[in-house]
Amino acid sequence: MVDAGSGTKDQFHRANANLDTIDLIALSHLHPDHSAELPAILWTAGGSFYLSGPTPAGVFPSIENFLDSMFGPGGAFRILADRIDLEVFTVDTAAANPVDVWREGNILVRGTGVPHGDVPTIGYRIDFPDVSIAFTSDQNGSNPSFIDFIQGVDYLVIHLASSEDATGFIAELHAKPSVWGQMATAADVGHVIVSHISTSSPQALEESLTILRSNYSGALTVGEDLMCFELN
Ligand SMILES: [Zn+2]
């Protein structure tokens, strides 16, 4: 599971997925819309998990402190303490190179820091023997080394949270549609999946997609709730 934003638990079930099948919970960053559902997921699933998250900075705690604040001895959800067993891995978001986060059989998950304002944030790439998928996470697209990280992926899940004419805070944290398109083209991505769509205006979304498509000519799917992909 990559990220655990609000609503994730119920939607996971509605998509006919099973929480019991989760081995790895890979958090990109600790903004609530990416992490706030974690207690409900763990409460329902129980068991052992490998959990990865970012290094601390500013108002953002370490992943250990984040978990302790909920599941530790004084934590708000300490009722879960004897129900879950977490093995925690911290991805140094300031490191120059990607790191291996998790490996099981011939599945390899790697992570790397991505520029999301002052928020420590991880982008993930998952390589199976015959197919690969990467998650940009929230980021502004300003680090060219991320293109190397996602080079040649079959599927790239992008977070479309900024319009082309955004300014200030939004633009500092989130890549514009043209930037996503240029990134996907430069990395020779097979299929872009647009997620984390911040606008509720169909017209504004279409404008952003038009700009994205003018910078990227490959396959593109606009994600919707409960959408499933067979990776092949
Ligand atoms: Zn964010």
Q: Residue 142's domain is classified under what CATH number?
A: 3.60.15.10
- Give the integer Cα–Cα distance in Å for 177 and 165: 10
Report if residue 99 sits inside a domain.
no
What pLDDT does 63 receive?
98
Report if residue 85 sits inside a domain.
yes
Question: Same domain, yes or no, for 136 and 86?
Answer: no
What pLDDT does 231 receive?
85
**Domain count within the chain:** 2
Give residue for tokens 């790697």.
110
Q: Give the distance (Å) from ligand 1 centre to CA of residue 139.
A: 8
Among candidate residues 27, 11, 19, 161, the one with its CA nearest the CA of residue 93: 27
Report if residue 145 sits inside a domain.
yes
What is the mean pLDDT, run by run of 10 residues, along the chain of 232 residues? 95 94 97 96 96 98 98 97 96 97 97 97 97 98 97 98 94 96 98 95 97 98 94 78
Report if residue 178 sits inside a domain.
yes
Report if residue 2 sits inside a domain.
yes
What pLDDT does 150 receive?
98
What pLDDT does 53 receive?
98
Q: Give the distance (Å) from ligand 1 centre to CA of residue 80.
A: 26
Q: Give the distance (Å) from ligand 1 centre to CA of residue 30.
A: 8
Q: Give the distance (Å) from ligand 1 centre to CA of residue 180.
A: 16
Report if residue 100 sits inside a domain.
no
Which structural domain range is residue 54 located in? 1-91
Question: Same domain, yes or no, for 221 and 138?
Answer: yes
- Give the integer Cα–Cα distance in Å for 196 and 214: 20
What pLDDT does 5 receive?
95
What pLDDT does 194 receive?
98
Question: Same domain, yes or no, for 198 and 144?
Answer: yes
Q: Give the distance (Å) from ligand 1 centre to CA of residue 31.
A: 5
Task: Compute CA 211 distance to the chain's CA centroid, rounded to the nearest angstrom.
Answer: 23
What pLDDT does 60 receive?
98
Report whether 86 contacts 49 (CB < 8 A): yes
What pLDDT does 154 receive?
98
Among 91, 120, 154, residue at a domain's last position: 91
Among 63, 91, 119, residue at a domain's last position: 91
Q: Give the distance (Å) from ligand 1 centre to CA of residue 173.
A: 7
What pLDDT does 232 receive?
72
Q: Give the distance (Å) from ligand 1 centre to CA of residue 138.
A: 5
Among 41, 59, 91, residue at a domain's last position: 91
Question: Same domain, yes or no, for 148 and 68?
Answer: no
